[in-house]
A and B are shown apart, each in its own frame.
Chain A
Amino acid sequence: MKTLKLFALFALLIFSWSAKPASAQVEQIEMRVDGLACPFCAYGLEKKLKEIKGVEKVTVYVDKGLVTLKSRKEGAIMIDRLEPVVKDAGFTPGEIKLIAVGKIGQLQGAPMFEVSGPEMAFVIKNDAQYEKLRAELNGMHKLVRVTGRLAQETPQGHHAHPHILTIQEYMIK
Chain B
Amino acid sequence: MRDFLYCLIFPNASNNHRAKFLHFRVLSVVIAFLIVGSFFFSSDFNPFASRLKAIADISTQELLMFTNEKRAENGLPVLVRDEQLEEAANMKADDMFAKNYWAHNSPDGTTPWVFIKAAGYEYIYAGENLARGFSDSKDVVNAWMASPEHKKNLLSENFRDVGFAVKTGRLNGEDTFLVVQEFGNKTAVPVAVNTDVEGREEGKVLALNLDQVTPRPANSMSFNFIIILILGLIAVFFADMLVIRRKNIMRFVGHNADHIIFLMAILILISVLSSGYVL
Query: Do these two chains really belong together in a complex?
Result: no
